[in-house]
Structure formats: C-alpha cells, structure tokens
Structure 1
Amino acid sequence: MPTQYHIMVNTLSPERVRSSKPIEVKVLAKNQILIIGGTGRIGHHVAQDLQQHMDAKLVVTGRQRPKSDRHLMGEFLPLDLGNREQLQKAIAQSQLVIHCAGPFHHRDARVLKSCIEQGVDYLDVSDHRSFTQKALELAPAAQEAGITAIVNTGVFPGISNGMVRQGVDGFDRVETIRLYYAVGGSGGAGVTVMRTTFLGLQHPFLAWIGGKWQTLEPYSDRQIIDFGPPFNALGVYWYDVPEAWTIAESFPVQNVITKFGSAPDIYNRLTALMAKLPPSWIHHPFVIEGLSQISYRMTQVSDRFSGVGIVMIVEVEGEKDSQRASYQSRFYHPHTAIAAGCGTGVLAEWIGNGRLKKPGVWPVEQAITSEEFVEMMRSSRNLDLQQTWEDL
C-alpha cells in the first residue's frame, strides 16, 4: 500500500491575504541570512545568487568545511541538524533561514519550527511531499508568529509552481494541468539529486486524476514529449513531486499530471529498470547510495555532451470566455542548479527587503501572484518564458 498523505495547504488563500489589512513590516537590525546546507551544490547556487543581488551577511552551514574556500559563498558555520541547541543559536542570529540540506525525504520540520519559535522568516528548497506535509501543518503557528515561510522554492518545484499559477489565472475554469520536466544529466546539482531520484522510486504515490487521488507506480507510463532544443524528443515518466499535491489543493482542477525525464534518454531506460527492482533492494540504503554514486560518475562524463540544463513545459486546458482553450508555457535554462538558485534567490530578496510579507506557510503558487511571478522571472533575473494560447 502507498503511504497516505493528508496535507493542509494554508487555509488563507492568496486573495484573502492580499485583501486583508496591511501587515506592518519590521525591519530587523540583524541583516544575516543563514543557508543551511549552503556548501552543497544547490545551497551554493542559492548563496551565489544572493551574493549578487543582496547586501546581506551570508552564513553557510555544512557538516564539514569544504576543502577549498573558493567554494564558499559567505562565512562558514559547522552545523549538525541533529544538534538542536546549535541549530537554534544559529537561527536566532538570522533574519532569514534558507533550508537547502536535502534529500528531504526523511527530514522533519525542526528548522521551520525553530524559525517560528524565534520569529525568523523561512524558505526551503524541499522536493518531497512528505516534508511538504510536515511544513504546511505548521501554517497556523507561523501565521500567529508573524513569519513568512515558503516551501518548495527553486526550479521544480518553485518556478514550475509559478508557471502553473500564471496559466491558471487566464482561465475561467481549469480541467487539466500537465507539468513535464527534462534535465540534462546531473543538472549541475551533484550526487544529492541522484539520491533524491532513487529515493523517489521506493513507493507508489498518489496523483490527482479524474477529481480523485489515484495510486501510481513511479517511473511508469513512458511518454515522448518534444521539449525543443537542447533535448528535443525525450521520454518522460510519472514522478512524485510536491507541486503535484499542492497544485491540486490550490486550484479547482480535475487532473494534475507530473512527468520527468533525463537526457540522454538511456538514463530514463535505466531508471525505469531500477524502479522494478525487488522492494528489499530499492529500500536498502546501501543500494540507494551505490546507485547514486555510480549514476553521478556516469553523468560526469555525459554532462559534457548533454549539458546540465533544464526545460519545463506547463500545459493548462480548460474554459476561457465560454470557449475551450489550451495554454502552454516553456522555460529553459542552461544550468538547472543555477536556475534553482535564482528561483529561491528572488523570494529571499523580496522577503529580506520587506516586499514579501505573508505570515503563514505557503507553496509558491499561493505565495505570489501571476504579476509578481512575471517580475520575478524577467525583471529580476532575466529568466525567459515562452507562452502560447490556442482555442480547442
């Protein structure tokens, strides 16, 4: 049986928050941003983006100091998330905490809980619905504490959620939302992304199809999608991502389809085979780690040919002006990890300068409007979107 998830997305809708009484923004004397897991690939690129766009003291954490300081984007602080006293002290000295210490499959919400207790704003780059559930359940406490917390920031989830928000807002009624993701090799994200991929093969998951939750096998139902350059036609498969859950909760929609693929396509074939391993194998930590290390070494070679970019396509079908219509948006970036850094960095910048203040815990599609998403993409980081409308 699949793991059953019951997530409460923040009950205050974006519309209610925008129409409520303006919130007084307190500018803190401390101007320090704590990036937990800031020595990892994604954390490094988040820090790099902030270093370019914010005048703030950056403190990056890790279990061990990197061998070379050139990999540090800020002041290094050794930190073990298991040491609660050490964690609370680091958070207390910060204005904003960004949680980048994945994989998030087995993480608890202790970082967010500490931020709520100490009145510190929070972002994370989490990418698993079990963690998203734990975070969103803290929405009432975060609202009472007056902190802004946004989960699943980055590229996917993150920018992908904003793409959906923008598409849905153009319809009177939405029927189907499809999200297709293609990543070149490692995506520039290091071995952690390999662990995340293989951990995602361990359990069946729930997808919103036909207006109800249905159980699907991970990396099943291969489909060929034309992503355009640089990947063109590529196989994609059902994959569990947290936006599949939050989008179904955020919008009245009948179907939410999320499919993922890697380039070159041989990796998809191999991953689909791994998904069929006996449960005793794919659930064994040593097997997961072994597959992750082997895959990462393979991508260190193939990345030279495939690149490490990302293409995302969002399709929305529904009714607009009494006419059935479809909408498609396409996002491309030549470096997946840098794109994730941009997606998180903009939100961090807006929270840091007081522009974004919405007490509670939010997925991205509820945290920002379509107009803010456009500004986030084009004005702040020059990220490109291609959009088309078609009557059906």
Structure 2
Amino acid sequence: MTEQILILGGSGRIGSSVAADIAAHTQAQITITGRDAIAGQAVGDRLGPQVQFLALDLAESDRVREAIGQSQLVIHCAGPFPYRDASVLKTCIELGVDYLDVSDHRSFTCKAVDYKAEAAAAGVTAIVNTGIFPGISNSMVRRDVEQLDQPERIHLSYVVGGSGGAGITVMRTTFLGLRRPFEVWRDNEWQEIKPYSDREAIQFPAPYGRTGVYWFDMPEAFTLPDTFPEVKTVVTKFGTVPDFYNYLTWSVAHWWPSSWLRNSAVIEFLSQVSHRMTDFTDRFSGIGVAIRSEVTGQKAGEAVRCCSTLVHENTAIAAGYGTGTLAELMLAGKLKKPGVWPVEQALPTDLFEQIMESRGLKIHQSWEPIQSNSPKA
C-alpha cells in the first residue's frame, strides 16, 4: 500500500521544498495544500505525478480532519507559527497519524509539547521544529555534545543570504520575533534578553566569512537546555547578508515603539517591504544558509571546544532536506518514538549522519583544546 502524506501549506516555498525531497526519495503519494488554487495547482504540476494539490484553508476544520484521516503522515508547514495553535497536532493524535512540522517559534513549541503524554498514549510519533534551523542545526548540536564528557556551553549561530529562497511567511516570522523580550538559559539561570541585541562577529565558512549575528528568539533556546540539562549556557544568534538588513532589523527592534510591533498591520507592512527588497538583493547576496554549532566543555579532564559548520546555497531546499529526511525515516519504520519531541530528542546521531550523507550535505566537525588563557567563544 502506498503511503499517503499530507503537507499542510505545501504549496509555499518551504512546504514545496519538503514535498520535492520526499518525492525524490520515497514512493509516497503526497498531497500539498494551500489557499490559492491556481498557484497551488501550478506547484503540484511542477513537482510531478507523485504530488497532487488540494485547495484547503486551516480554518476549514472538518475538511482538515478528513484530509488528516486519509494520511499516514502529516507535515505542518502552514506558518507563521506564532499565529498557530496545536489543533493540527491534536487531530493527528486523535486519529493516530504521525506528525512533523517546520515550526520555528517558542510559543507554538510550548503548545505542541503539552500533548506529549497524549501522543505517547496514542502511539503517535510527533517531531516539531524540523527543517534547517531549527532542525538540522539541533542535530548538529547533539552530535557535538556527544563528543564531550561534560558539555558546558552551546553557541548556535546562523546566517542567511537575503530571503533564503523562502516566501513572505519567513519575513513575518522574523518581525514577529522582535515584539517582546524572551528568556534564555545563561549561567545556569533564565535571563531576559531583548531581541536583536548584543551583536557578535562570528567566523562562518565561505562565502560568508566573518558576519554579525544577534540574539533571536528560537525554540532551541529553551529545548536545548531541556535536552542537555548539564549545559550552563545556550546562545542562539541570527544574522543576514547583506549586513545592512541587520542594521535595519536592529533599528526596528530597538527604536520602534513596542505598540507598533504588536500591530499586525505594521508587521505585514514590514514583511511586504522586506520581501520586495530581498527580491532585488537576492541576486547579489544569494539565498544560502550557514550554521555554526560550538559546544565547549570537558573531555578526558581537559577543556575543549567542538565545532560543526554547514553551508548550503539554498536555505529553502536545505529546510526541505531537514524535514524530508525525517519523513523518509518515519515511513521506513526507522524512526518511531511515540510522544512529542524537538528533533534533537528524537533523532539519534547515527541516523542523522546517515541521512545527511544521503542528501550530500557535508557537515564539517572539529575539536580543539582550550588554552587556560583563552576566552570562551
């Protein structure tokens, strides 16, 4: 029997990248959904005979439930996730359907993990925060942590070229992340941080080089401390190229009144303007992504630093790999863990390494001793 996969929001750029990866590596029949029937049908036609389009709005709860009930796996790509509740996941649990999502916001992740016990009781494997960041990035951290006897500090940073090849939903998510301070795990306590603060120059692999990154509210800022409770500090920072986008975003976060950022019309205005700007600058900046995971701690009684880096020329395609690989493993019966999990708690490192190699993704990992007079990075 051919597996049936439902990708909610699958006609968008991230969702269609997920569909393309699954179609290339499995025999599953894939249904992608969206609200724009003409655009969605065009995406379905482009992706080939394994993929069909279904016009569907998440507000149509009865139709959504019917579509979920006809599937073995549901993949939720219909952001922006700060606006979403966990109703899709709840329906999957009720109907016994496995679940993935590309969620990228703390508030949604908190809602999802509240259903951990219900999913476990129903035998449903649900993995949240898949994609590239969060997603592949979390598994890179887990791989680095496992190299040390006693991990102490995680520093996870990302840089994206222009739009990253993603749609306007990603722009909305970025500006929604500027609305209020958030908590981070630092020096063994939760501390409040202002978004897009504390610029730090990080050395990424070519073509990015030394690039500025800033504190940004990501789900892994609180899932990683939960996954690795021995770690004293978790840093999550984000930046873009060209660098002037960082300064524009910083000015919005620090100079604009908070009441403006809580106004949905203002968020939409900023998102539309940014989307038009990146349509132009993408041709110069590219649409790629670089991730740098650095874990410091103890190994054999010595202070060491373990660092991993990944670069891909297209952020949306890389996100498709992150989610598509998990779907492939779940369909093959290689990844079954009832409950609701962030990806670093669900995917063992050996499977992560195998599935990344199958996509040709090269993750460079190195570790070195930390001299006693060297500051922590």
Q: Same fold (TM over 0.5)?
A: yes
1:198 aligns with 2:163: no
1:333 aligns with 2:312: yes
CA distance in 2, matches of 1:241, 1:68: 29
1:391 aligns with 2:369: yes
Q: In 2, are the aligned partners of 1:39 and 1:66 still within 8 Å (CA)? A: no
- Identify the residue that residue 249 of structure 1 maps to in structure 2: 226
Secondary structure of 1:203's counterpart equals: coil
1:183 aligns with 2:155: no
- Identify the residue that residue 89 of structure 1 maps to in structure 2: 66
Q: Deviations over 1:97-129 (max 9, x none)?
A: 000001100210000000000000000000001
Tell me the C-alpha RMSD between the 2 structures.
1.0
Secondary structure of 2:207's counterpart equals: coil
Q: In 1, are the aligned partners of 2:205 and 2:309 still within 8 Å (CA)? A: no
Q: Deviations over 1:336-391 (max 9, x none)?
A: 0000000000100111121111111111111011111111211x211011111101
1:163 aligns with 2:135: no
1:266 aligns with 2:244: yes
Question: Which amino acid in the other structure matches residue 373 of structure 1?
Answer: F
- Identify the residue that residue 354 of structure 2 maps to in structure 1: 375
- Aligned to 2:276, which of 297, 302, 305? 297
Q: In 1, are the aligned partners of 2:41 and 2:53 still within 8 Å (CA)? A: no
- Identify the residue that residue 59 of structure 1 maps to in structure 2: 31
Q: In 2, are the aligned partners of 1:311 and 1:332 still within 8 Å (CA)? A: yes
Gaps (5+ residues) in structure 1?
Answer: 1-28
CA distance in 1, matches of 2:106, 2:232: 19
- Identify the residue that residue 151 of structure 2 maps to in structure 1: 174
- Aligned to 2:11, which of 21, 39, 46? 39
1:351 aligns with 2:330: yes
Question: Which amino acid in the other structure matches residue 244 of structure 2?
Answer: I
Q: Deviations over 1:130-170 (max 9, x none)?
A: 10011111011000000111000000000000000000011
CA distance in 2, matches of 1:66, 1:242: 34
Instruction: After TM superposition, list the pairs within 5 Å mapping 1:132-171 onto structure 2.
Output: 132-171=109-148
CA distance in 1, matches of 2:38, 2:186: 45
Q: In 1, are the aligned partners of 2:7 and 2:33 still within 8 Å (CA)? A: yes
CA distance in 1, matches of 2:236, 2:165: 22
CA distance in 2, matches of 1:100, 1:124: 6
Q: Deviations over 1:217-276 (max 9, x none)?
A: 000011111213111121110001001110010102000001100000000000000102
Runs of 4+ with >4 A deviation? none
Of 153-162 and 220-229, the range deviating more from structure 2: 220-229
Q: TM-score, normalised by structure 2?
A: 0.95
Q: In 2, are the aligned partners of 1:30 and 1:93 still within 8 Å (CA)? A: no
Secondary structure of 2:81's counterpart equals: coil
CA distance in 1, matches of 2:336, 2:3: 16
Question: Which amino acid in the other structure matches residue 256 of structure 1?
Answer: V
Secondary structure of 2:364's counterpart equals: strand
Identity %: 55
Q: TM-score, normalised by structure 1?
A: 0.91
Question: Which amino acid in the other structure matches residue 303 of structure 1?
Answer: D
Distance 1:185 1:383, change over 3 A: same
CA distance in 1, matches of 2:89, 2:38: 26
Secondary structure of 2:38's counterpart equals: coil
Aligned residues: 363
1:288 aligns with 2:260: no
Q: Deviations over 1:55-82 (max 9, x none)?
A: 0111001112133744223211111111
- Aligned to 2:188, which of 189, 199, 211? 211
Secondary structure of 2:240's counterpart equals: strand
Question: Which amino acid in the other structure matches residue 364 of structure 2?
Answer: Q
CA distance in 2, matches of 1:130, 1:359: 22
CA distance in 1, matches of 2:368, 2:359: 28
Of 267-276 and 222-231, the range deviating more from structure 2: 222-231
Q: In 2, are the aligned partners of 1:47 and 1:341 still within 8 Å (CA)? A: yes
Q: In 2, are the aligned partners of 1:166 and 1:370 still within 8 Å (CA)? A: yes
- Identify the residue that residue 374 of structure 2 maps to in structure 1: none
Q: In 2, are the aligned partners of 1:201 and 1:282 still within 8 Å (CA)? A: yes
Secondary structure of 1:221's counterpart equals: coil
CA distance in 1, matches of 2:338, 2:98: 9
